[in-house]
Structure 1
Amino acid sequence: MNIDQWTRRIALTFVALTVLLSGCTTYVTTQVTAFSAWSGSDATRTYAFTRHDDQQNNLELSAYERIVANELALHAFREVEREQARYLVELAYGIRSDIVTVAEPVYYNPWPGPYWGRPFDPWGPWGPFPATYVNQSYPVFTHLLGIRITERASGKEVYNVTARNFGGESSLVRAMPYLARSALSDFPLANGVVHTVKIPLGTGGGAAANEVSLPAVGGASAPAAATAPKAPQ
């Protein structure tokens, strides 16, 4: 087994445990990787989305562009016509499903009758008998969003960021607001940075560093601006 396969197996096992504890989960955790040649010298950040020819009438992509546009606006980006734009923004996205198997404990108590609790029953409700384990399989999903920014005039790539998270959510639409917010968190990141962004699930609670509030995962609406636009860097 090579290193990539071993790493993938460990990651899927971790995801399975996360799915098991999803009832207690209050954050969406996303891994972000950025490559940057951002100069920080631009006074205005005008941009336009760019697509491949076979994506011109893609309604799904249009929905994701609106979500990303909301996040770009938080960093002083302004969408304009392509001919007037300094930057071109291109999106890549996807979802992949896997099945992971986890050994779960099953307890058996052969003694009928009520459980009186301590100190009457020192072994607890399951008695002194050890647990047996049964394999349970769970679906897990990997959600991915890539944002690539190039200079329109030169074609030079100046920023390329990827956001990836895992979980039991089978809809990329519901995961996209969290991916977009995470991908552009702390923009612009330094070249080669890998970090983790935790976003509170739902609308309650305050936001700490690298933590922002978005609509609940069950909703597909684009997130509202949480802070004022940042000054260009």
Structure 2
Amino acid sequence: MKLDRWTRQAALTFAALASLLAGCASYVTTQVTAFSNWDGGSDATRTYAFQRTASQQNSLEDSTYEQVVANELATHAFRQVDLQQAHYVVSIAYGTRSAMALTSVPAYYYDPWPGPYYWGRPYGWGGWGPWGPYGGGYVAQSYPVYTHTLGVRITDRASDKEVYNVTARSSGDEPSLVYAMPYLARSAMADFPLGNGVVRTVKLPVDSQGGAPNEVAAGSAAPAAPASGAKTVQ
């Protein structure tokens, strides 16, 4: 039947669109800003402990995100110890803000006289079903944009002087900070230490699970976004 032919055509069209969208979303893009007075030091001195505010002391969310950051610190020879033994104190700050954005999309009209077959209308339009494109017209459409931010601050415990402060920020249609956090942490610590006042863009590939991090057990090391294929745009 020709109706079946239309169904197959629609399925192929939607599959092509899905592939296109997947390709567009294959990287997570993050803006990174760093301020640094890092003196280098040796691997032996890179001991640290996390510092929390009073309101953060019993927060499972904080401990989960700390483990994600700890994974990235470990790739740069940082070793987590008790506060009394730590050379550095590390604190994190994070948050999500949402806003509405506008875009222009083609206007569509409804044809009340669809034909019985896939090619449809008595006017000769084909392949659109009861909806058709309105030539030359556009309408404004709003959609939510979520901006996720992670800040990592490293302080010398003995002098209480800040030695490194980096912020990673990404925007998109994903509302979950949990989903974004591994990419923020990986981007924030990429090529540590950056120079003072450096601003750059980091692109990380979405993993085979679509980018969503695995479940993190409280108090255990959290999985981070894959490092392979990372791209940096200065």
Compute the TM-score of the two structures, normalised by the length of structure 1. 0.73
Structure with greater Cα Rg: 2
The C-alpha deviation readout for 1:154-210, integer Å capped at 9, x for no partner, is 00100000000001111101100000000000000000000111010123xxxxxxx
State the Cα distance separating 1:223 from its structure 2 match: 2.2
CA spacing shift, 1:92–1:102, aligned 2, 3 Å: same
Asked if 2 retains the 8 angstrom alpha-carbon contact of 1:71 and 1:225, the reply is: no
Percent of paired sites with the same residue: 61
**Pair 42,98 (structure 1): closer, same or farther in 2 beyond 3 Å:** same
User: 1:109 deviation in Å?
Assistant: 9.5
CA contact (8 A) 1:31 1:195 kept: yes
Report the 3-state secondary structure (helix = DSSP H, G, I; strand = E; otherwise coil) of the residue aligned with 1:178: helix
Structure 2 counterpart of 1:89: 90
CA shift, 1:125, in A, is: 7.8
Q: What residue in structure 1 maps to residue 136 of structure 2?
A: 131
Unaligned stretches of 5+ residues in structure 1:
1-20, 116-120, 204-214, 228-233
Cα distance in 1 for partners of 2:205, 2:226 equals 13
Structure 2 counterpart of 1:30, one-letter code: T
Matching of residue 148 in structure 1 with residue 153 in structure 2: yes
Partner of 1:218: 212
TM-superposed CA distance for 1:102, in Å, is: 1.2
Q: Deviation at 1:133?
A: 1.0
Q: How many matched pairs?
A: 191
Counterpart residue type for residue 202 of structure 1: D
Please give the alpha-carbon distance, in whole angstroms, between the structure 1 residues aligned to 2:82 and 2:38: 22
CA distance in 2, matches of 1:151, 1:134: 55
Say whether 1:76 aligns with 2:77: yes
When the two chains are superposed, the root-mean-square deviation of aligned CA atoms in Å is 2.7
Q: Is the alpha carbon distance of 1:170 and 1:148 closer, same or farther for their aligned partners in structure 2, counting shifts above 3 Å?
A: same
Matched, 1:61 2:62: yes
Tell me if structure 2 keeps the 8 A contact 1:107–1:131: no
1:76-95 deviations in Å (ceiling 9; x for gaps): 00000000000000000000
Of 168, 176, 179, the residue aligned with 1:171 is: 176
**Which has the larger share of strand?**
2
How does the TM-score come out when normalised to structure 2?
A: 0.72
Unaligned runs of 5+ in 2: 1-19, 216-221, 228-234
Measured at CA, do residues 52 and 137 of structure 1 come closer, stay the same or move farther in structure 2, by a change above 3 Å?
Answer: same
Aligned equivalent of 1:12: none
- What is the rounded CA distance, in whole Å, between the counterparts of 2:134 and 2:73 in structure 1? 58
